[in-house]
Amino acid sequence: MIRILKEAETNRAAIFAREDPVGSVEEPVRAILEDVKANGDAALKKYTKEFDGADIPTVEVGMGAIDDGFRNADPFLVDILYRAAERVAAFHQHQVRNSFLVNEESGVVMGQKIIPLERVGLYVPGGTAAYPSSVIMNCIPAKLAGVKEIFMVTPPDKNGKVPANILAAARICGVNRVFRVGGAQAIAALAYGTESIPKVDKIVGPGNQYVAEAKKQVFGKVGIDMVAGPSEILVIADGKNNPQIVAADLLSQAEHDKNASAVLVTDSEELALAVQAAIEEQIPKLKRAEIARASIDNNGKIIVANSIGTAIDIANEIAPEHLELCIDEPFAWLDKIKNAGSIFMGRNCPEALGDYFAGPNHTLPTSGTARFSSPLSVDDFVKKTQYTYYTKEALSVAQQSVSHFAKQEGLTGHARSIDIRFDPNVTGE
């Protein structure tokens, strides 16, 4: 049963504690990475057999199989995928940056170029569930950024097949190539390259703790979006809410993973008790009831605060992945929110809307990293470089300042690189 904690009577450590997955996977992940780096496709096939129970004749899913998947996917879902992709694109289009040039001084030109990454790898989770929504959320911003090659890796089922709905989403979004491998071994393939999978510039997309650890270990060899932890939701709700609805919103994340966390912060003890009872009523009705039960019992909590203002302070301290503001006048409180991956405003905006259809990205910072990081966006798929141009006359204006600055730092070679251009013994002028 979910715990109820009264903020005024509870140790802060209990309120803000996050449960970490038990056990370190650092060493087994390192071994997998090294194996794939050394043995390529053979290692991928071995681990796919070991972890997914599938014998795969080839690592890549051919275009014919992708077309078959599209044709065999649920037709109503295909229509929804098209519309969801359009909405995600419409939102992320506003994130597209332009290069700029500055020429405000005589003889001086400065600028910044926005350059798309050449090749990115999308990790799409599988295993306990298939997520075509992850294809949309990871691929669309990359397309808008101008990435030339987008590769997708995802675990196959025991027959070595990628679910039709995943393949349909890949085709709709414009994924260039699809590979039926998952786990740490897929991350290794994208980072180092194998006979079948070319290495990429950046890897994005959430996964389990093995995937997260693998991304962490290959960072530096390739870029990554983030090291994602278990899914989490925090709902701020006043006493006017329907407890059945609040309970349903909490369980929408609890069903993801046994390590997921669902937190309610409310100023109403009556609502707290009613939501606690509603959760117990609803869990047995879920298809993934066992997972939700473990999440709620181990990581769930209801915090009773003395006011909505205090509730928001608690939310800022926790910095949740998903934050629902189920309160009157949510926009009046929006500026008070400092740390959250994505905010859902009002009583009619469940987090699940953002997972599938609203438009903003659902790949979000977890584990409190919303304090310093952001949702996946077009910015994740570009790099920026800058350039500077000075005429001889413009450099002469800056010479004394730059030379003196360099000498103050003890870097006489820096100073000389400026001064030598005005030494007549060198230039002959």
Kindly list the catalytic residues.
321-322
Q: Select from 381, 353, 350, 380 the least CA-distant residue to 365.
A: 380
Could you give the CA distance from residue 314 to residue 7 in angstroms, rounded to a whole number? 9
Q: Which residues contact 3 (CB under 8 A, 6 or more apart)?
A: 300, 301, 302
H helices, E strands: number in the chain? 18, 15
Q: Select from 18, 8, 10 the least CA-distant residue to 307.
A: 8
For the chain, state the CA radius of gyration.
26
Please give the structure tokens belonging to residue 398. Answer: 């800056």
- In this structure, the strands spanning 202-204 and 223-224 are parallel
Could you give the CA distance from residue 58 to residue 133 in angstroms, rounded to a whole number? 25
Q: Which residues contact 177 (CB under 8 A, 6 or more apart)?
A: 60, 149, 151, 152
Q: Are 150 and 175 in contact (CB under 8 A)?
A: yes
The residues with which 61 forms a beta bridge, in sequence order, are: 178
The residues with which 110 forms a beta bridge, in sequence order, are: 102, 388
8-state DSSP, 345? E
Q: Are 154 and 178 in contact (CB under 8 A)?
A: yes
Please give the structure tokens belonging to residue 162. Answer: 């990628």
Please give the structure tokens belonging to residue 269. Answer: 């003890």
What is the DSSP secondary-structure string of 378-421? Answer: GGGGEEEEEEEEE-HHHHHHHHHHHHHHHHHTT-HHHHHHHHGG
Q: Which amino acid is at 115?
A: I
Could you give the CA distance from residue 231 to residue 360 in angstroms, rounded to a whole number? 17
Q: Which amino acid is at 278?
A: A
